[in-house]
Structure 1
């Protein structure tokens, strides 16, 4: 297994950020590291084929001309999976995040661990000789992720037990990362969209959350931070599966919303499958379905706006990012939330929608795998 020192990761990260190449001199000027250290790091990265040399850089000096250094997008591969409720996406890509192979694998929750343990053999069969080019693998999953000991708690497939992936690492000795799915989404946007946020509160489609404070992703001691869905907004509210009453997740759950609207929506709407039903609620609000419907809908959004504002004001966060896969974060719902947060907050928050394309969703495990090579965000 190839492992890089922190300085070697810094050099690789600097080269990775320069899509059209960079010289050793510019790397030295950027990182303020000695020329000898840079040279050693570059030679190691060239030997391991993480980077390659490009064209000669024109110069008027009498010294030896330098070549541009670029990420090797032909040789090295990274891979990973993103676990969902009834399937996981298996992805292989290069160091630039370009997808070279992807597959959706349907799976029952009881078979997830067994299926994951078989991934190396599965990839050998699919990729042939190119399998040996994979240098890093990641598992992106819901739940509390402890990156130090590679365990998961409170995920839908873990139930009450703690699941460890240490054996997976021993059986396939390459660079390995495990990451919470909400954190991974934010990491992907920062790596591949070059987004820079010193302080950020990101809320995912299922009301999970991720925090960046002082440029550092906050995970908590055991990976359990960011459960915004279990922020209690009304102790007399509906019962949440976590045991409390009046959590955000409880107010926006399918069961509660169908009960909430049962007297004003046609039964055909109430019988819709979960995701279609939630999308329909958002669409009806955009269309101003009825006055009473709009009033009830906005009462729910006000609870959400208040909760978001309390978090950002308490933690002095400047950027709020809402994943528009969540129907309550798009269209007129987004505008209402934005206006209310600005009204309630004592801060001048920048509130941004996060839009994921299908391709970007597939890139999420690749972004996490890349952090093994170029370091954390």
Structure 2
């Protein structure tokens, strides 16, 4: 099958209806597009309290709005993850960003709860189409062919976008006119250069007919893929738990309803993540994951302690600790998967990796939201934080034992 797949060479113009720009320009356009994609899907986070006041819905609705996003995202990854490996990155990414524009427009026009559900469904499909294809395109177009550098830039774009979205949305909603419309108009404007960039990728004619199929990981890479996916799952599960709680915690502890404060504290986590990823470039993948998992446990313990003590400074320290852990664990996991993913199935493998990651993102948000309808929020947080801490420790032990085994038996190391 691999021999029948289309070959992607973004630096070659032959046979393409679209003359691609130089590899370096293509790479950075794809990086910008990945940043914008994640920024847009995270912009609504600090605004749900505003929507709640405008539309008069219960806190459970916030959970359900997030749940429909995950419910749209996962099937989209399953159906379309391998698609760009067959028909080319451009033919997948242009529709993805057109859907991102549509999602932002639906949010901007929202005048009821139903519009929020619809917008999040559209955003979920856009993310499912675009995330794996963009990551694969970056690996292919890195000017020197350095996959490790492409991973560092991609993970940096993801966390900066995910953190920048809430910060920009919070600032605009608090200090600019039209708080529930201007945010999304800015997003649409930001998407335009991204859409231009992906539209200039080579147009590849499909060599085989695409058919939806279940995710498949080659047997030769299943062990490193599974280990890395668990680390990424946990990194983003802890992140989601913080994103669920930190905005309301910070506003309550600071005694303010300022939306920008909520967005700023959320961005603190992603800023810490981005910094540690930039400084962690070149780290061995397993070691980065182990250090990240350890810091995630510290962040979880401090989060629960901050809630019990009602301490804003402790909450900020917990947020930074979780951000550092998330950055290291996610960078190590992405590096491990990118190193072993076959070139002709890169988008397919990365989409499966993202699928498992997004399940981690959704579980705490939905779980805490549902549990909080029966008990107080703090006990619900303690339950999920405790469970995640135990899982992080188990993954840490597994990685440590696995690394020792590889050192003892170097012949058993998987070949990228």
TM-score (norm 2): 0.24
More helix by share: 2
More strand by share: 1
Tell which has more relative contact order, 1 or 2 (C-alpha 8 A, sep 6+): 2
TM-score (norm 1): 0.25
Rg larger in structure: 1
